[in-house]
Structure 1
């Protein structure tokens, strides 16, 4: 395990880690089975092994995420998991992002150290942008719009596949460390 990194990564689940097109749901709408997007399991594992703090920030039912993230071997790599079900809000609500910040014992001062990675411009990207969190759009899926509806949905960064996040995260972390050294 590497030394903890400065950069903190919030990740969405559907079409960011899990391929929504492979979801199998039970009669209660709980996802009981699904596959990862190609490379997403390697992305999660590599980021965690390199010392990045990972938080799941996702809309849906807690049991769905427990099922599919455990099946795909990535559940234990997350420091915290924030789901819309217990929060009683969905992204882009600030409550989702604030819950993740609180669960990691962070404060508003830490927002410049956080990135939110997601597939949905109107939820993940807009929610992050409204909070002042750096937004990373994963434009892998054909299921959602790829064109921002307005300025609030314009991502800071765009990647086309999960594995691209590893190098982007390393680069952003180096920039944070450099900025910190210049201040001290």
Structure 2
């Protein structure tokens, strides 16, 4: 299998985990939650096809550990970057730079990174500011679906997690083709 060139950064809430199913303890740690339909299969399929996944999410480390282990997807992520440990929230470049650093990526790798999220003002704005390809998952009714300005306009929009697989495969093929023709 030819190594995959595209690196996938994923948000968690309403991108993988259905925020409406979260059950929290007295310390605001999520102790239980369900995935969006197909999100667990999407994560597994991308990794099985050779893609590197990084979680880039706002929240508490223990919450993500609980939710991802419970849903059988914890071990599919090469790195997990949380706002709790980075001491910043998306769209702060610190979140995205931490993920790049954890994966040993440099500035020239930005064009290979795809950030997928449900929040235009955090995920999409952050990805666009970093020069990543931005993918908006508009599955949830909980957040705005209309960009506030140009910085929140996604490169691609999908409505269900499983749609990401074909999109990533296409972007990977396009990236490889572009590199070959340089």
TM beyond 0.5: yes
Q: For structure 1, which segment, 95-104 or 2-11, has the greater mean C-alpha deviation from structure 2 after superposition?
A: 2-11
Counterparts of 2:63 and 2:153, CA distance in 1: 29
**Preserved CA contact (<8 Å) 1:125 1:155:** yes
Q: What's the CA shift for 1:156?
A: 0.3
Task: Give a deviation string over 1:99-118, Cα, whole Å, max 9, x none.
Answer: 00000000011000000000
Gaps of 5+ in 1: none
Q: Which runs of 4+ in 1 moved over 6 A?
A: none
Specify the alignment match of 2:108 in structure 1. 109
Specify the alignment match of 1:100 in structure 2. 99
The RMSD of aligned alpha carbons is 0.6
Tell me the matched-pair count: 182
Specify the alignment match of 1:173 in structure 2. 172
3-state SS of paired residue (2:26): coil
Counterparts of 1:158 and 1:63, CA distance in 2: 30
**Preserved CA contact (<8 Å) 1:4 1:53:** no
Structural mapping, 1:28-67, within 5 Å:
28-67=27-66
3-state SS of paired residue (1:9): strand
Counterparts of 2:46 and 2:2, CA distance in 1: 12
Q: What's the CA shift for 1:180?
A: 1.1
TM-score w.r.t. length of structure 2: 0.99
**1:126 equivalent in alignment to 2:125:** yes
**Preserved CA contact (<8 Å) 1:139 1:146:** yes
Specify the alignment match of 1:88 in structure 2. 87
Counterparts of 2:156 and 2:168, CA distance in 1: 11
Q: What's the CA shift for 1:3?
A: 4.3
Specify the alignment match of 1:145 in structure 2. 144
**Preserved CA contact (<8 Å) 1:19 1:37:** yes
Q: What's the CA shift for 1:4?
A: 3.0
3-state SS of paired residue (2:181): helix
Counterparts of 2:52 and 2:63, CA distance in 1: 22
Counterparts of 1:133 and 1:105, CA distance in 2: 16
